[in-house]
Amino acid sequence: MATIVRRPPPIEPIIQQLQNILPQLREEYDVEWLGVFGSYVRNEQHAESDIDILVSFRSTPGLLKYISLEQYLSDLLGMRVDLVMESALKPEIGARIRTEVHYL
Protein backbone atom coordinates (compact mmCIF):
# COMPACT_ATOMS: atom_id res chain seq x y z
CA MET A 1 0.00 0.00 0.00
CA ALA A 2 1.34 3.43 -0.94
CA THR A 3 2.14 5.97 1.71
CA ILE A 4 0.64 9.41 1.20
CA VAL A 5 3.15 12.15 1.86
CA ARG A 6 1.62 15.46 2.89
CA ARG A 7 3.63 18.37 1.56
CA PRO A 8 3.67 21.68 3.39
CA PRO A 9 2.28 24.69 1.57
CA PRO A 10 4.76 27.04 -0.12
CA ILE A 11 5.48 30.37 1.53
CA GLU A 12 4.11 32.61 -1.25
CA PRO A 13 0.39 32.03 -0.57
CA ILE A 14 1.03 32.44 3.16
CA ILE A 15 2.75 35.79 2.59
CA GLN A 16 -0.12 36.88 0.32
CA GLN A 17 -2.76 35.97 2.91
CA LEU A 18 -0.89 37.86 5.62
CA GLN A 19 -0.46 40.92 3.39
CA ASN A 20 -4.17 40.88 2.58
CA ILE A 21 -5.21 40.96 6.25
CA LEU A 22 -2.51 43.33 7.52
CA PRO A 23 -4.81 46.40 7.43
CA GLN A 24 -7.38 44.48 9.51
CA LEU A 25 -4.68 43.36 11.97
CA ARG A 26 -3.53 46.96 12.36
CA GLU A 27 -7.08 48.03 13.13
CA GLU A 28 -8.20 45.17 15.39
CA TYR A 29 -4.95 44.13 17.11
CA ASP A 30 -2.87 47.33 16.94
CA VAL A 31 -0.20 45.52 14.88
CA GLU A 32 2.57 47.76 13.55
CA TRP A 33 4.14 45.14 11.26
CA LEU A 34 4.55 41.40 10.70
CA GLY A 35 7.40 39.29 9.41
CA VAL A 36 7.82 35.60 8.64
CA PHE A 37 10.99 33.77 9.68
CA GLY A 38 12.17 30.24 10.37
CA SER A 39 11.88 27.10 8.30
CA TYR A 40 9.46 28.57 5.73
CA VAL A 41 11.79 31.45 4.89
CA ARG A 42 14.76 29.09 4.68
CA ASN A 43 12.68 26.68 2.52
CA GLU A 44 13.25 23.92 5.09
CA GLN A 45 9.61 23.39 6.07
CA HIS A 46 8.13 19.92 6.37
CA ALA A 47 4.60 18.59 6.84
CA GLU A 48 4.60 19.20 10.60
CA SER A 49 6.24 22.65 10.47
CA ASP A 50 4.59 25.59 12.13
CA ILE A 51 4.90 29.08 10.69
CA ASP A 52 7.01 31.52 12.70
CA ILE A 53 5.65 35.07 12.65
CA LEU A 54 7.43 38.03 14.18
CA VAL A 55 5.10 40.84 15.23
CA SER A 56 5.54 44.38 16.44
CA PHE A 57 2.63 46.10 18.17
CA ARG A 58 2.07 49.84 18.41
CA SER A 59 1.28 49.30 22.09
CA THR A 60 1.90 46.22 24.20
CA PRO A 61 -1.12 43.93 23.99
CA GLY A 62 -2.66 42.11 26.89
CA LEU A 63 -2.24 38.35 27.06
CA LEU A 64 -5.77 37.66 25.78
CA LYS A 65 -5.31 39.88 22.74
CA TYR A 66 -1.94 38.27 21.97
CA ILE A 67 -3.38 34.74 22.23
CA SER A 68 -6.42 35.79 20.21
CA LEU A 69 -4.17 37.05 17.40
CA GLU A 70 -2.10 33.86 17.41
CA GLN A 71 -5.27 31.73 17.23
CA TYR A 72 -6.78 33.91 14.50
CA LEU A 73 -3.64 33.54 12.36
CA SER A 74 -3.55 29.77 12.96
CA ASP A 75 -7.17 29.43 11.88
CA LEU A 76 -6.65 31.66 8.84
CA LEU A 77 -3.55 29.83 7.62
CA GLY A 78 -4.74 26.36 8.59
CA MET A 79 -1.55 25.57 10.48
CA ARG A 80 0.02 26.18 13.85
CA VAL A 81 1.44 29.69 14.20
CA ASP A 82 4.28 30.53 16.55
CA LEU A 83 3.78 34.25 17.17
CA VAL A 84 6.84 36.03 18.54
CA MET A 85 6.82 39.62 19.78
CA GLU A 86 9.76 41.58 18.43
CA SER A 87 10.08 43.43 21.73
CA ALA A 88 10.51 40.12 23.61
CA LEU A 89 13.44 38.81 21.55
CA LYS A 90 16.67 38.16 23.41
CA PRO A 91 19.62 39.94 21.74
CA GLU A 92 21.45 36.86 20.42
CA ILE A 93 18.30 35.15 19.09
CA GLY A 94 16.89 38.44 17.82
CA ALA A 95 20.02 39.15 15.78
CA ARG A 96 19.75 35.77 14.03
CA ILE A 97 16.02 36.12 13.38
CA ARG A 98 16.41 39.65 11.97
CA THR A 99 18.86 38.36 9.35
CA GLU A 100 16.26 36.02 7.84
CA VAL A 101 12.89 37.66 8.51
CA HIS A 102 10.69 38.47 5.51
CA TYR A 103 8.88 41.68 6.53
CA LEU A 104 5.40 42.36 5.18
b/e string for 16-51 if b means 16 or more Cβ within 10 A?
eebeebeeebeeebebeebbbbbebbeeebeeebbb
Check 30, 50, 75, 82 and give the catalytic one. Answer: 50
Query: Residue 44 has what pLDDT?
Result: 92
Domain ranges of the chain: 11-103
Active-site annotation holds for 82: no
Domain 11-103 has CATH 3.30.460.10: yes
Catalytic position from the list 30, 52, 75, 82: 52
pLDDT (average), residues 54-82: 96
pLDDT of residue 47: 84
Could you tell me the pLDDT band of residue 8, with boundaries at 50, 70 and 90? confident
Confidence of residue 3 (pLDDT cuts 50, 70, 90): low
Q: Is 50 a catalytic residue?
A: yes
